[in-house]
Amino acid sequence: MINLPARDVLGNFLTYNGDKYQNMVVLNADLSLSTKSDIFAQKYPHRFFNFGIAEQNMIGASMGFAISNKMPIVCGFSLFTTGRAWEFIRLACHDNLNIKFITTHGGLVGGDGSTHSALEDLSLMACLPNLNVIVPGDNIEIVKVLEYAFRIPGPFYIRLPRGNLNVIHKKDFEFDPNAIDVIKNGNESNDICIIGIGSGSYIASQFALKLEQELHISIRILNQSTIKPINTKNLISLIKNDKNVIVIEEHNTYCGFGSIISRIISEYCPKKIKIIGIENSFGQSGSRNELLEYYGFSYKNLKKKILELLNEK
Amino acid sequence: MQISSIEEKVLLTDILKLKKQILKMIWIAQSGHPGGSLSCVNLIYLLYKKVMKFDAKNPLMEDRDIFILSKGHAAPALYAVLSKIGLIEKKELYTLRSFGSRLQGHPKKNKDLGIEISTGSLGIGFSVSIGCALAAKLNNNNKKIFTLLGDGELNEGVVWEAAMAASHYKLDNLIAIVDRNGIQSDGSTEEVMSLEPLADKWKAFGWEVIEIDGSNINEIINGFKNACKIFRKPTVVISYLIKGSDVSFMEHTRRYHGKPPNKEEYESAVLEINKQIEIIQGD
Ligand SMILES: Cc1ncc(C[n+]2csc(CCOP(=O)(O)OP(=O)(O)O)c2C)c(N)n1
Ligand SMILES: [Mg+2]
């Protein structure tokens, strides 16, 4: 499980839980192979519905399933699901329907390039009342988040990447949207608190020790997979003594996770903050490593941001 | 009108060579969509070569005909044709999908390359072509607008919104071309979301329908040319094609919709195509 691509974890989870959630139906728009919901389709063909390449109709239909006491799981690519059918999702949230929107290909996508990158989906989703928005950091967390989302009625947006997530949690990790998920504790008060989502949390933990040694600083890392609703009180009480904050998100920086954290911090415990994300771009084709490097998800850029924070008055 | 058998041989050979190029590009990139690129490259090539008013030396020419690849994932087919007509250097083709390349995974707007609009998100390109056709009318320009759609792409609601608008506005300068290869991402179109009776649907939406055998060069050229002559309504050319055509193991399957060939597959595909070129040359 640990080494599977995120979408395989999704497909397997749906299939393992088919009997437990008898009211579950899985909806798809010609991407069942790409999102791995085809695994569910094989075992439960009568509860799987392919709408063809028609995201709007898929989501409209999911609303009909929901008001008929089914629990629709809407699977698709992050961009096409949230972008093409946004107003449908808005209405689903408006009526607080029990629909789980679970997408893959969130963030940078590699060769497919800008028209398939999802760098705006969190902006589109995080503004919707009632919607729970969660970006898991590894496969262990994906399973826990899916269990949680299936248990709690109401709309969820769960964003997964196209490929693999590196492990950041211990096997006995439990997901609690109100708890603050500390990946690296540091001290009571730290020079830098890095708050990541998705791939961002691992990127932070990959570089933190080396940066601590090189710069003689202390770094705390939080994996804030729950973007909405954020338990502001718990978050603030944990980070209030940290001197600076850096957010890492595979999303645009205009109005993404970093913007949300900036608002919370400036409202409740003002301190300096920098955001590492995709700035002013729709993404492009390239290998994952090239893209991560180019958009600043690198040791070099993280160090630069830290030095800016430490040196700026 | 029939083209001469000598010219037919030349065009058939060109198309097979374009297919080799597509395979090489996708093989080197190790990502991309071979199936839907192989099926439609002949349509794109014949449009540029025999039908469209388009000057590769001046791709910005004011009254050029417009081509929009609404099924943007067939970008390799478009790039191969653009290279064949002289807009892209051959060695640039092999930068497909690589970091910094102009040849992005899906076409990115680039007027120098004659790419009018970015596509890849299915359905949008067709809708854009409605606007181009309306604008051409407004300008009293008799340019034609050609849009190539996938058959799976026809699932999108916006396609039918656009189809309705096109006949409402009597857009006889708009020609939609459907790559009717019968397969989309998840399987056959009739299994995933049935389209038939497809011609009747278009007719009911007020379109002239021309159905062609997409493996027949004369039918393609004549189909496009006849479409240009229809008066006071838009025309759709439904082209019956084979997904992955001319590479036996890629034909009629969803397996190579979005999957590149590996080295052995690539090499055997090239052998197959070479054999077909030999046969044509030997005739
Ligand atoms: C709006 C949107 N939804 C989903 C996709 C993902 N996608 C890319 S190609 C494809 C299947 C296309 O099938 P078809 O139109 O038949 O193409 P062809 O057979 O000509 O390759 C899908 C679902 C997309 N590119 N855009
Ligand atoms: Mg098709």
The structural domain count of chain B equals: 1
Domain housing B271? 5-282
Instruction: Please name which ligand lies nearest the alpha carbon of B154.
Output: 1
pLDDT in tens, chain A (313 residues): 778 999 999 999 999 999 999 999 999 999 999 999 999 999 999 999 999 999 999 999 999 999 999 999 999 999 999 999 999 999 999 999 999 999 999 999 999 999 999 999 999 999 999 999 999 999 999 999 999 999 999 999 999 999 999 999 999 999 999 999 999 988 899 999 999 999 999 999 999 999 999 999 999 999 999 999 999 999 999 999 999 999 999 999 999 999 999 999 999 999 999 999 999 999 999 999 999 999 999 999 999 999 999 998 7
Please judge whether B106 and A114 are an interchain contact, meaning their C-beta atoms are less than 8 angstroms apart: yes
Task: Supply the residue whose CA is at minimum distance from atom 21 of ligand 1.
Answer: B36
CATH of the domain at B17: 3.40.50.970
Task: Enter the DSSP assignment of A83.
Answer: I
Q: Which residue of A has its CA nearest to B160?
A: A54
Run of H or E including B238? strand B235-240
Return the SS3 of B179. strand
Q: What is the pLDDT of residue A10?
A: 97
CATH of A6-159, one of 3.30.420.10, 3.40.50.970, 3.30.300.30, 3.30.565.10: 3.40.50.970
What is the residue whose two structure tokens read 């058939």? B12
Query: Closest residue of A to B157, CA-based?
Result: A54
Site to probe by mutation for ligand 1, drawn from B126, B153, B156, B183 as the one with most ligand atoms within 8 Å of Cβ, is: B153
Measured in angstroms, how far is the CA atom of residue B58 from the centroid of ligand 1? 31
pLDDT at A132: 98
Asked if A38 and B186 come within 8 Å (Cβ–Cβ), the reply is yes
Give A181-311's CATH code, choosing from 2.60.40.10, 3.40.50.920, 3.90.1580.10, 3.30.70.980.
3.40.50.920
The 10 Å Cβ neighbour count of residue A254 is 15
- A chain contacts of residue B106, beta-carbon cutoff 8 Å: 112-116
**Cβ–Cβ of B152/A113 closer than 8 Å?**
no
DSSP H or E stretch at residue A159: strand A156-159
> How do beta strands A272-278 and A244-252 pair?
parallel
Residue of B nearest to A38 (CA): B186
Nearest of A190, A103, A179 to residue A142 by alpha carbon: A103
- The letter for the amino acid at A210 is K
B75 in ligand 1 pocket by Cβ < 6 Å? no
Measured distance CA(A106)–CA(A299) in Å, rounded = 22
Contacts of B29 in chain A (CB under 8 A): 111
Chain A positions with Cβ closer than 8 Å to B = 28-34, 38, 50-54, 56-57, 79-80, 83-84, 110-116, 284-287, 290-291, 294
Q: Is A256 exposed, middle or buried (0-12, 13-18, 19+ CB in 10 A)?
A: buried
Query: Contact A113/B157, CB-based, under 8 Å?
Result: no
Ligand with an atom nearest the CA of residue B40: 1
What is the residue whose two structure tokens read 């083709």?
Answer: B93
Say what angle helices B124-138 and B157-168 make with each other, to 10 degrees.
20
The answer for residues whose C-beta is within 8 angstroms of residue A33's C-beta and 6 or more apart is: B185, B186, B254
| Residue B124 contacts residue B135 (beta carbons within 8 Å) | no
Contact B145, B66 (CB under 8 A): yes
Q: Residue B123: its chain A contacts at CB < 8 A?
A: 53
Residue A168 pLDDT? 97
Q: Which residue has the tokens 């590492």?
A: A276
* Cα(B117)–Cα(B207) distance, integer angstroms: 24
Neighbours of B259 (CB within 10 A): 18
Ligand 1 pocket residue status of B239, Cβ below 6 Å? no
Ligand 1 near B65 CB (within 6 A): no
Q: Do A30 and B185 touch (CB under 8 A)?
A: yes
Q: From the list B98, B101, B153, which residue is nearest A53 (CB)? A: B153
Ligand minimally distant from the alpha carbon of residue A31: 1
Cβ contacts of B26 on chain A, cutoff 8 Å: none
Mutation probe of ligand 1 site: the residue of B118, B155, B185 with most atoms within 8 A of C-beta: B185
Q: What angle do CA B80, B81, B83 make, to 5 degrees?
A: 65
Q: Could you check whether A6-159 and A181-311 share the same CATH topology?
A: yes
pTM attached to this predicted model = 0.97
- Which of B100, B118, B152 is opposite residue A115, by nearest beta carbon? B118
- Please list the ranges in chain B whose pLDDT falls under 50: none
Please report, for chain A, the start and end positions of each structural domain, with discontinuous segments joined by +.
Answer: 6-159, 181-311
**How far apart are the C-alpha atoms of B256 and B242, rounded to whole Å?**
12
* B209 phi, psi to nearest 5 deg: -120, 130
CB contact under 8 A, A33 and B185: yes
Residue of B nearest to A115 (CA): B120
Which chain B residues touch A if contact means CB-CB below 8 Å? 29, 31-32, 72, 97-101, 104-106, 108, 118-123, 152-153, 155-157, 184-186, 192-193, 254, 258
